[in-house]
Chain A
Amino acid sequence: MIERFEDVIIQTVCRLLIPFIQLFGLYVIAHGHHSPGGGFQGGCILGASFILLCVAYDIKEAKRRMTEKINVIFCCLGVIIFSGIGAICLMLGGNYLNYSRLHHLLPVNPVDARSHGILGIEIGVGIAVMAVMVSIFLDLASRGEHEEGLK
């Protein structure tokens, strides 16, 4: 397999850049209303930051930051947030995913309640996409073993 070459420049630059990449990913999710972006795009950027950590260091480093248990929990949490907001709208008396019924819960008018519902489900989608991208990459890169690095 490929010999891993310890390069100080790549490791230092990645270690400095990865928090800013994650901050940018959260910015893209949060500003989905006013600029191009949204849940899927921000989730991909967040997933790419973990994959950069894998590529620069080792799979064990990335797994120390996001363990397998937390990974699977985030996968399911994203889908639960999305369906949960729809189910809350159902319980408040409207159709499934009819966000204007959320004005009974939050102190806003029905039109702004739709905007907040959209933000909620974009957060759910972003979390799900991030976790699934990291999970698929870890499975494919280590061929299932998860023990050694990209060797």
Chain B
Amino acid sequence: MKFLALIAVVVTGALLISGTGDMPDWADPNSPASIHVSPRYIEKTVEETAVPNMVTSVLADYRGYDTLGETTVIFTAGIACILLLRRPRR
């Protein structure tokens, strides 16, 4: 069983490493992730939101819905732990 798991892990790892041939180089300023929409966030953050920290302005203003969903996720996890584990006192 452990031998089969080892073979599966090595095959998957080899496939993934051979797949990195197509990925952009490390620290490339022209990678597709850095030229699509993030220059607009970087250049317009101070004039549109008056917040110098780009991460906070993207997290709470430009992508505020995702933060609302994430707060709901952690709230649901807390409620799920309460429902699973707490026993009423006799």
Contact = CB atoms under 8 A, between A and B. Distances in A.
Determine whether A and B are in direct contact in the complex, meaning some CB atoms lie less than 8 angstroms apart.
yes
Given A121-B67, A139-B82, A132 B77 contact: yes
A136 B81 CA distance: 6
Interface residues of A: mostly helix, strand, loop or mixed? helix
B2 interface: no
A140 B85 contact: yes
A118 B71 contact: no
Contact of B85 (A37, A83, A139): A139
Contacts of B42: none
B68 A38 contact: no
Nearest to A124: B71
Interface string A19-52: 0000000000000111111110000000000000
B45 to A, nearest CB: 10
Interface residues of B, number: 31
A112 B50 CA distance: 6
A64 interface: no
A115 interface: yes
Interface string A71-104: 0100110110011001000000000010100000
B52 A82 contact: no
A82 B50 CA distance: 20
A129 B87 contact: no
B50 to A, nearest CB: 4
6 contacts: A79-B71, A83-B68, A86-B64, A117-B61, A128-B75, A135-B81
Q: Closest 10 A-B residue pairs measured CB to CB? A: A132-B78, A144-B85, A118-B60, A115-B50, A97-B64, A139-B85, A114-B49, A139-B81, A33-B51, A32-B56
Given A82-B68, A145-B87, 16 more contacts: A33-B51, A35-B53, A82-B67, A86-B68, A99-B61, A114-B50, A115-B50, A118-B49, A125-B71, A128-B71, A131-B78, A136-B77, A139-B81, A139-B86, A140-B85, A144-B85
